[in-house]
Structures are given as structure tokens and as C-alpha cells.
Structure 1
Amino acid sequence: MSIIEDPKIVEITGRTRVLGILAHPTEHVKAPPGINRIAMMRGRDAVMVPLNVAPADLESFVASLRVLKSFDGAIVTVPHKQAIIRLCDEVSPQALAVGAANVLRRKPDGRLIGDQLDGIGFVEGLGDQDIAVSGRSVYLVGAGGAANAIAFALAEAGITRLTLANRTVEKIETLAAKLKGAYPALDVAIGTADPRGHDLVINGTTLGMNATDPLPLDASLLEQGMTVAEVIMEPEITPLLQAARETGCRIHLGRHMLDHQLQLMANFLGL
């Protein structure tokens, strides 16, 4: 059983440390039960709650966290991963390279520290399912915080070829330039909606969270033998994964990334 599938009731006390998951909207988030379970297992008086904050209110809300003395930190997710960087007092080298943070910790003096765990969580999730990365050719859709983190983690894990695709070409051109600078031996290309010719196909966008979303790529061009992976956790089987399964591809669920991030996130948040 996944750790996020066994939530328990958490008793709140006057000493309870508050953690959050910062998102907009929050209905799709899956981390709080898992983090709360870890807190209980580690004997920590702490609870994670959803923090639904619109982008226009992010700066003022984050400022308030500096003076919330019972607040220890938060997971940061869509659509705030990139915007949160400029609101931190300090960010890790990984977050700086990616241009996005997905965890935020408050120091006792009110300073806010950001880090990036998306990429390592995604790659470790693949490995746990016996999906090889090193030496493989990868097609990645997206240019947001998660996609950037995954691209860097895949490059670090030894992929040989990476094709980037996104509706806004300028964003992936920026990502491609950063990757080429950091990993000059990696074959990085700008692609289209055509995923053919790759071992691993990844949707690193939010397309698929809503029933009315278009597919992130041309699913009619998926090929048997491909592995098709998601970062989306709700719904578990997105339209892309359904199309991939019908084509005969192996599918990889978004929850595997979170499963492998939870312990890392808990450690970062001081649990």
C-alpha cells in the first residue's frame, strides 16, 4: 500500500506545528495524507493542510508566513513552483538551475528557504517500477516547474537524447539552452506533438487534470514498446494514459513520483 493511501486522524493541539500544501486549486493535491502519516510514524506533533492561494495573492500570502510562528513549511505545487523562487530568501542550487521550487521551509527567524525535489522523485519512481533511464531516449512535454525539474534529473541520470515539446516554444528553448550548458554531451532537441522514436514519453504538464483538457501530444502516434508516464495524480488514469494503454504502451502513474518524494519532503520540512 502506498503511504498516501493510509491516512489517519491527526489530533490538533496548541503545540501542533503547521505545514501546508500551497496550490490553486487544491482539490487535486495528494500529499497531505502521506505527510500526516509520516508525522505520526515519527512521533511529530505536526499537521499538513491545503493552502488554496490564487497567483495574484501569492506574494502577500507568503509574506504572512514569515510571521506565522507555528508554521514550519510547505509543499509548493501548481501554479506556484516558479513564482515562489523570487519570494524566498534562499534557494538550493537545484531549484536555481531548474527555476522552480516545490518545497518551502520557514526558519525560526522568519527566513524562507526553497528547494526542488520533483525531478529526483520522478526518476526514483521510475526506477522503483524497473523502468530504465540511463541510455534512453526521452520525449518530454512541458516547460513548467515539474517539467524543468524532471528534465534536469533525467539528464543527471544518464539519458542520451531528450526531445522537448510545449505550446510556448520560447519556454522550451530556454530550458534546452540551460540543459545544453549543464550537460553538453546530451542530445537536446525541440520537438512537436509527435512523440515517435522515443523509449519514454512523459507528460510534464497539467493537461489531463480536467475532462475538457486537450491531450498534451498526438496520442495517435504513440507506439507499442514505449513507456508513457504522467506527473498528474488526479485522475490516476488520464486520457493520455488511457490512450497509451489502448495502444499497448506501458504506463507509469503520477503517484509514483509523489510516493518517492514524501520521505524527502518530510525530511526537508523537519519532521
Structure 2
Amino acid sequence: MTEIGGATRLYALLGDPIAQVRAPGLLNPVLARRGTDAVLVPVHVAPADLDQVVRGLRQMANLDGMLVTVPHKAAALALADRASERAHLAGSANALRREPDGTWTADTFDGDGFVRGLAAAGHQLSDRRACVVGAGGAGSAIAVALLDAGVAELRLSDTDPGRLETLRCRLSAAYPGRVTATARPRLADADLAVNATPLGLRPDDPPPFPVTDLPTHAVVADIIMKPAETALLAGARGRGLAAHPGEPMLAHQLDGYLAFFGL
């Protein structure tokens, strides 16, 4: 890593929990190889403190941007002065950039990274039936990206009926006839099933959905990065299903982050 000095530009990664994040370990070496005098630092922020912490960070003259992870992505959108169209559609953001006039712009890269990761692994999305379990910040961004990538049908599910219906209405208006929502995921004929919930971060978590309900050709994707092999992915492999881990979603966001922050 480049030596940190008084001229080093700062970027903060906000989350709760924070110990599992992989972005600093991937992004900081890239900055060092480029000779960019900047560093990404994890910041543990409880949901009740997010607004106050972000307002404080915005007063730091050498802080140029923030990345946002669980569970702050929806709340982060409201803290920006403006946002990209895909962030508005998703209702969430995972990156905020300070502009020269001191205002902040938000965007979301989760969906783009997820779709790029699937494509790099050889998985086709056009005309497929995709089920996304979890309508939070990451799940909503993934839903938008899957629709943009041409899935024929997007099936949403979430344990929070209000959040689920809000996302369904927003996406149905933008992508008419292609979005459905149910409390329990519809898996029997799904081509792709995505865990976009935090379930799997802890070893005693229940599975986000039963892989036994999926057809034999289905791809099971998990956005959790630590552990790399979640119980969901292990169960999918045990059934002979294609399993797609979480790290490619982050790895394929790095170029987007660098361009967004002008690094």
C-alpha cells in the first residue's frame, strides 16, 4: 500500500457489521499499483447513527467519497443531493461521491457487478426466469440490473411485505409485465435463484430458500462474500446445481468505482 500522508485522499466504507467486508482488500492494492494517493477505510456504523456519521464525514475536507454496505444502502440514497437513474429505480445506493461544489452524488454498482460476474462465469440471462430473494439495497439493485440484462421474468420475494410491494410497484412501472412479487420465492421453474439477504453470514443462519425446490438446470447465486462457500452454495453443489459465489459481484464493481470516483 502507498504510504499514507497528509495529502492522502480518504474514502470510507460504511456498514454494520463491517468485519466481513472485502472491498478494502481488493480496492486498496489497485490504488497502490496505480500510484494513487488514496485509501479506503472501513467504518462501523449502527443504523441509528448513520445520518449523524454521514453528516460528520461530509465535513471532512479530505474525504472524497463513501461506499456503503449492509444495512445502509437504502438509507444512503436519501443522504445524497442527486442520484443516478438506476439508483432511483433500485431505491438504494452503495457509492456516494463529493462533487467540486461540495454536493454529493449517489450511484449503485451492486447490480452491474453481479450481472458482469455472472456473464464472466458463462451464465446467460436473456429470456431467463430469475428469482431474487431479498428486496433490500443489494437485492433491489440486482433486480434492476437483471431486468436491464433482459431476463424475461423477475420474481421478487422478501419477508417484509411493505418493502416488497414498494419495490414491485417501482419496477413494474419501469419494466411492465416482467415483475412479480410473492412472500415465498417461486423456484420450481426458475433458471436463476439469488440470495440477496444477509442469511449465511453466520453459521447458524437458516437457508434463504430451499435448493431442493429448484430444477436441475438452475443456477444458485449468493451475494455473501464471507464465508466464500455459504451453506446455500454447498447445498446447491450437493444437488449438482451450478453455484455462483459472492466475490465476483464485488470484483466486477471495482472498475465502476474507480471511474465513478475519478481515480
Match of residue 44 from structure 1:
36
User: Which residue identity does 2:99 align to in structure 1?
Assistant: K
Cα drift, residue 222 of structure 1: 3.0
Within-5 A mapping of 1:249-268: 249-268=241-260
Q: What is the count of residue pairs matched by the alignment? A: 263
Choose the corresponding residue for 2:73, options 58, 71, 81. 81
Distance 2:71 2:215 in 1: 31
Within-5 A mapping of 1:1-271: 9-190=1-182, 192-271=184-263
Gaps of 5+ in 2: none
Distance 1:56 1:37 in 2: 32
Contact 2:189/2:214 (<8 A) preserved:
no
Cα drift, residue 193 of structure 1: 4.2
Distance 1:65 1:184 in 2: 40
Deviation per CA, 1:70-120: give whole Å up to 9, x if none: 111121110110011111112122111111000011224432221111111
Change (3 A) 1:39 1:101: same
Contact 1:163/1:191 (<8 A) preserved:
no
Cα drift, residue 194 of structure 1: 4.8
Deviation per CA, 1:205-229: give whole Å up to 9, x if none: 1111111211111233233211100
Contact 2:165/2:181 (<8 A) preserved:
no
Distance 1:32 1:270 in 2: 17
Distance 1:233 1:24 in 2: 15
User: Which residue identity does 1:68 align to in structure 2?
Assistant: M
Contact 1:223/1:247 (<8 A) preserved:
no
Distance 1:152 1:224 in 2: 26
Distance 2:175 2:248 in 1: 26
Query: Which of structure 1's runs of 4+ aligned residues deviate more than 6 A?
Result: none
Distance 2:87 2:54 in 1: 18
SS of alignment partner, residue 174 of structure 1? helix
The CA RMSD over aligned residues, in Å, is: 1.4
Match of residue 3 from structure 1:
none
Q: Percent identity?
A: 43
Contact 2:135/2:167 (<8 A) preserved:
yes
Contact 1:194/1:217 (<8 A) preserved:
no
Deviation per CA, 1:202-253: give whole Å up to 9, x if none: 1011111111211111233233211100111011111111111111100001
Contact 2:155/2:185 (<8 A) preserved:
no
Gaps of 5+ in 1: 1-8
